[in-house]
Structures are given as C-alpha cells and as structure tokens.
Chain A
Amino acid sequence: MATIVKCARTGCTERAALKRPKTGHPVCRNCFFSVFEEEIHHTIMQGKLFSHGERVALGASGGKDSTVLIHVLKTLNERYNYGIEFILLSIDEGIAGYRDDSLETVKRNETHYELPLHILSYKDVYGWTMDSIVDKIGKKSNCTFCGVFRRQALDKGALMLHADKIATGHNADDIAETILMNIMRGDTSRLQRCTAIVTNSEGNLPRVKPLKYSYEKEIVLYAYYKKLDYFSTECKYAPQSYRGRVRSYLKDLERLEPVSIMNIIYSGECLIVDSRVKKSIQSTCTRCGYVSSQAVCHACTLLEGLNKDLPLLVLGKHNRRANKELLASTAYVKTDSEITDFESKCNCSNNQIIDF
C-alpha cells in the first residue's frame, strides 16, 4: 500500500503534490506556489531591487523563465504594492523555427498580462540575423555573438522605452553555470561581477535578476502547474556550445546533490579576486558610445569582423593576420591580456604590438 505523503508546511494537511527540488520538502500545489513567490519577494526586498514609481523593462523571450518572471512580478506588484510600471521588451535574434515561434508566445503574454510590448530585432540594430551570422561563421562561437548582441540590444531597447531598470529571468542554474564558465575560462573580472543580483555599469541601465535563487526545475514546475503560456524549445545552436557542456556537468551535479546549485552560487559570492590581478578599466566605445573596457566594444568588433568578412575576429587568439587588418582599418588597440605568446610589447609604448 502506497504511503500518502503530507505537505511539509506547518498547518497544511493537504497531500503533497511534489518534492521541492531546492530543499527536498514535500509540498502541496498551493504551498508550492506560496513558497516560490515568497522567496522571490524576499529576494526583491532583501536585495532592494526596485523602488516605488520605477519603470522596469522585463526581458521577455516567451520562454519559461521570462514568462514566470512576468507572472510572479505582476502578482507580487499587486499583492505588496511595489508601485512599479512594467513594460515587456523582446529581442528578435532572427533564428528561424525558434525565435519567430517564441515571439508569438510573447505577443500572447502581452494580451494576457495587459503589459505593453516592444520588439527589437538584430536585423534592425545590427543588420544581421543570427541565422545569417551562423551561415558565415559556422556552428562555433554562436553564443558569443548572440550574447554580446542581445545584451546591447536590451540596453538600447530599454533606453528607447525610458525604462529605469531591466529585469531578466536569469535563474539559479544560469548563475551557477556562469560562475563555472568564468572559472573554466579564467575570466576573473566576470567572475567577480556575475554573482551580483544588480549589475550596474556606469552609463548602462541597472539589470536585476529577481529569480537568482530560484531553481530552473521549480520554475518549470511553477509554469506547468499554473498553466502558463510559454515556449519550450532549446535554441538550435545551443548544444554545440561550450556552455552546453558546463550545463550538462551542472545537471549531473544536481542529480547527485540538488543543493549543489545553491552551493556554487554561495561559493561564487565568497570568491575574492586578489587586488594584484589586473582588472579591466571601464570606458566607452569610440564608435557607439556603449560601455566598454576596450577602445572599441565587443559588439562593434564582432560586427566589423562580419562586415569585413573576417568573422572570427577577436574570437581566437591566433588570428594575427585578421587582427593586423583590423588594426589597419580601425583605431582598435589590443589590451595586454589579448597579446599572445608570440607577440611582445614594445618598451616605448605598452599598447603597440610587434611581430617577430
């Protein structure tokens, strides 16, 4: 005879409908909704993510994370009177069979939640779609292009909409993945920044991640039980990515020890980079004015490479000919960290590259 498991919340006598992936507690459906929403409310209040009267652009992709983000924030805004005005901002990367379908979902969200929606496409902003970029560069480094372009496009879109802040649906699994990625790549600058719940580069709009401590599995369960309308297909370019391998490792970790995702986030928050390690200095791009640690920002450099038929520019450290051509055509200057073992620094000016 099967044992009936009761909900673990004090005072609740309902039968448990699921076991929480995050803490392992058996909970009934209503208590699950309640604890999930309360945790996000706690994150918002403790992290002071919003202020009364703010206009917040919600990154809306039509996927489970952004749909749950929209639903929960609208619910909490009404329940706790945050006094925030939300607008939906969607970026169309131009991936046929993926983004065009998910945008239909976002349009339904616009109607259902009665929130204004603005869609900005890569084609409008950069003149390229992701499909045309992949045709050019092949199936490697796709996420680099997409991530860099999307980030800038979100900022541009939010500025156009006069938003005070951008909220994205990055969840605990995403943050843990990013921490591991930055360790694997040796990117200590990003490692220090990536655990911040509010990222606030000067000149850019602040970005907040209210779902930072929410597990992806719980987001899926919440969306499923609430019967939310979302689009759930993986980007067709994602499996070949480096991040895909790290994601697979993270999923295996979660299977062994579910709390390992929170452990990785905790560990990432504790990491302190030695002050003697060289840090990137923030300035602005000489071409587009976007915040950048280089003279020309990453997006402009990637675009330059695409437009000049040198698409792998900056991506690999061995493209010396390609880098030389770019150096000749623009004012791009390599930083010390990008100078390869085969190049050296001239004593008279540390920014000049000499070929042996």
Chain B
Amino acid sequence: MKYIETYDLPLTILPIQLALSDPDFSDEDDLSKLSDEKSAELRDNLNSCSNSSKRIQLLENYRRLLLIKFAKYMNINTILLNDNMNNQSSSLLTNMAMGRGDCLPNSIGFIDSRCDGVTFLRPLKCLLHKELSLYCDLYKLKYCPEHVLNNGDSILSLSERFLSELQCEFPATVSTVCRTGDKLTSSETVDCDEMNRCRLCDTVIIQTDSLSAVDAMRFSLSLFDEELSLDRICYACSQL
C-alpha cells in the first residue's frame, strides 16, 4: 500500500464481501457493518465451490461486480485494469476450460463493455510481464509482487505452467494466443433467438434449440432426471 501512496492519488480499499450487497459507499459505518455481516456469506459461497478453479472464478466475478458498483457511485465510466499479455493468454485458456467462450472477447479483450455505463479497459494487454518489469527497473518504480490466490492446484495455474513451458521452446506462443483472442468478437453484434444477461458476469445468454455442447449436457443430465437451468445465469457461472 505504501507504494501506491507515493503517487498521491485518492485511494479507496473495499472488502470484497461488499459485492454481495448494495452498500451505501458514503456511510463508512454502514460499510463496516455490512462487511462484517457479509464475510460469513462470502466464506460459505467460496466453501461451496468444489475446487479452487471455481473459487478463483467466483472471486473474480465478485471483484468485477464490486468495481462496477463503486464506479457507478463515483460516476466513473471507465476503469483501467492491469492485465498484461502473459496473464491474458493464461486467462484465455482458463476461460475456455471454464466454459466462458461466450464472453471471451470481453473478458480478455482491450475493452470490456458488458456493463452499461461502466467500461473496463486493459491498456497493458499488449505488453509482456518481462517488459513491464524492465520498465519498472529502468524508471526505478517500486512495486510489490501481486498477491496470487492461485495455489497451484487450479486450471489457471495449470494454464500458466503450460504456456510458460511452451514459450521457452516457441517464443511466439503467448503473443499468438493473445492475437487469436483479439480476432474474436462478441455475440452482442450477432442476431440471436433470445437474449438476456447473466446476473453474475453480465454475459449475454444465448438460448438456441440447435445441437450444441449445452444441449448435449442437458440431454446427458436428463437421462438421470437432472436439469441444466440457465435462467438468468450463463453456462459457466451455473457450474460455480
């Protein structure tokens, strides 16, 4: 925190459990009370996830929700994120494996415009981690290593390891993966049978009757009298 304070910019720290409610950001007492009340709910939600990959995804969804809530309160319409090329390429593969292909252009692209009124931008997405480290060294910028929730047993850590091993032998791997992601567009520009948005991640939910992986999974579950319901929740978030 002391490194951020050297830039003399207004700083706000919010506990992530505030994403579970509609806090009044102007009332510090209310924030403190809500934070205590919601921490147990947050713990329960995270514990109900069956593995660390889902926990990481859920926390990411809460972080995004909280940023949006605070931005709307502060009348901020643009949020800059610190994602670089390395973590974007790992995120691309992770999102594919978590069933987030439908929101890939938003979740790993330069612009994330899923939420009306608040746009996320990733100005560092074309820079490698190494380049950013060199820049910090050259300009003697102080930073502390990012706190990573990734405990090594998740899809994200597996994807990071896979890409870094490939990158050693094929140095264009990370940039090629990111460039592939840049060539994708979202379904919001395409005509759909029916459109609504996921309540957790704001992704457009496309309902279609034609054969697809969702239809195949729905049928597989129906053979055991189970349902796959995507009512106001996308396919990926329904698994969390």
The answer to whether A and B come from one shared complex is: yes
Residues of B within 8 A of A245 (CB): 162, 166
Query: Which residues of chain B (179-207) have a CB below 8 Å from chain A?
Result: 179-180, 183-187, 189-190, 206
Residues of B within 8 A of A185 (CB): 176
**B96: contacting residue among A35, A186, A267, A275, CB under 8 A:** A267
CB distance from B177 to the nearest CB of A (A): 6
Take A38-B223, A257-B53 as given contacts and tell me if A273 and B184 are in contact as well, using a CB distance cutoff of 8 Å. Answer: yes
Take A35-B220, A35-B223 as given contacts and tell me if A260 and B93 are in contact as well, using a CB distance cutoff of 8 Å. Answer: no
Residues of A within 8 A of B184 (CB): 271-274
Q: Decide: B101 and A270 in contact? CB cutoff 8 A.
A: yes
The yes or no answer to A320 lying at the interface (CB within 8 A) is no
**B104: contacting residue among A9, A267, A277, CB under 8 A:** A267
A213 to B216, CA, bound (A): 7
Residues of A within 8 A of B139 (CB): none
Interface centre among B93, B213, B219 (most CB of A within 10 A): B213
Q: Decide: A271 and B158 in contact? CB cutoff 8 A.
A: no
What residue of chain B has the Cβ atom nearest to residue A250's Cβ? B97
Interface of B is mostly: helix
What residue of chain B has the Cβ atom nearest to residue A8's Cβ? B224
Inter-chain residue pair count (beta carbon < 8 A): 136
CB distance from B23 to the nearest CB of A (A): 33
Take A46-B211, A197-B211 as given contacts and tell me if A183 and B185 are in contact as well, using a CB distance cutoff of 8 Å. Answer: no
A10 to B175, CA, bound (A): 50
The yes or no answer to A125 lying at the interface (CB within 8 A) is no
Q: Decide: B216 and A253 in contact? CB cutoff 8 A.
A: no
Q: Decide: A43 and B102 in contact? CB cutoff 8 A.
A: no
The yes or no answer to A336 lying at the interface (CB within 8 A) is no
A180 to B210, CA, bound (A): 23
A266 to B166, CA, bound (A): 25
Q: Decide: B155 and A183 in contact? CB cutoff 8 A.
A: no
Q: Decide: B239 and A259 in contact? CB cutoff 8 A.
A: yes
**B179: contacting residue among A46, A186, A191, A264, CB under 8 A:** A186
What residue of chain A has the Cβ atom nearest to residue B97's Cβ? A260
The yes or no answer to A54 lying at the interface (CB within 8 A) is no
A182 to B179, CA, bound (A): 12
Q: Decide: A269 and B101 in contact? CB cutoff 8 A.
A: yes
The yes or no answer to A239 lying at the interface (CB within 8 A) is no
Take A23-B224, A273-B183 as given contacts and tell me if A263 and B211 are in contact as well, using a CB distance cutoff of 8 Å. Answer: no
Residues of B within 8 A of A183 (CB): 92-93, 96, 177, 180
Residues of B within 8 A of A29 (CB): none
What residue of chain B has the Cβ atom nearest to residue A182's Cβ? B180
The yes or no answer to B18 lying at the interface (CB within 8 A) is no
A301 to B189, CA, bound (A): 39
CB distance from B56 to the nearest CB of A (A): 12
Q: Decide: A9 and B224 in contact? CB cutoff 8 A.
A: yes
The yes or no answer to A262 lying at the interface (CB within 8 A) is yes
Q: Decide: B158 and A268 in contact? CB cutoff 8 A.
A: no
Q: Decide: A23 and B221 in contact? CB cutoff 8 A.
A: yes
A23 to B221, CA, bound (A): 8
Q: Decide: A263 and B180 in contact? CB cutoff 8 A.
A: no
Query: Which residues of chain A (145-193) have a CB below 8 Å from chain B?
Result: 179-180, 182-186, 188, 191
The yes or no answer to B214 lying at the interface (CB within 8 A) is yes
CB distance from B170 to the nearest CB of A (A): 8
The yes or no answer to B76 lying at the interface (CB within 8 A) is no
A186 to B177, CA, bound (A): 6
Take A23-B221, A43-B216, A188-B180 as given contacts and tell me if A272 and B185 are in contact as well, using a CB distance cutoff of 8 Å. Answer: yes
Q: Decide: B224 and A266 in contact? CB cutoff 8 A.
A: no
Take A23-B221, A39-B219, A249-B162 as given contacts and tell me if A260 and B98 are in contact as well, using a CB distance cutoff of 8 Å. Answer: yes
The yes or no answer to B86 lying at the interface (CB within 8 A) is no
**B158: contacting residue among A25, A197, A249, CB under 8 A:** A249
The 10 closest A-B pairs by CB, nearest first: A267-B101, A263-B99, A266-B213, A270-B101, A213-B216, A270-B102, A46-B211, A47-B211, A260-B97, A274-B185
A to B CB contacts below 8 Å, 13 in the list: A9-B224, A42-B216, A182-B180, A183-B180, A185-B176, A188-B180, A245-B162, A252-B162, A262-B99, A263-B96, A269-B101, A272-B190, A274-B183
Interface residues of B (CB under 8 A from A): 51, 53, 92-93, 95-102, 104, 153-155, 158-159, 162, 166, 173, 176-177, 179-180, 183-187, 189-190, 206, 210-217, 219-221, 223-225, 235-236, 239
Further contacts, 19 of them, CB under 8 A, given A180-B96, A270-B102: A9-B223, A23-B224, A39-B219, A43-B211, A180-B93, A183-B93, A183-B180, A197-B211, A213-B213, A249-B159, A252-B162, A256-B51, A256-B154, A260-B97, A260-B98, A263-B96, A263-B97, A263-B236, A272-B186
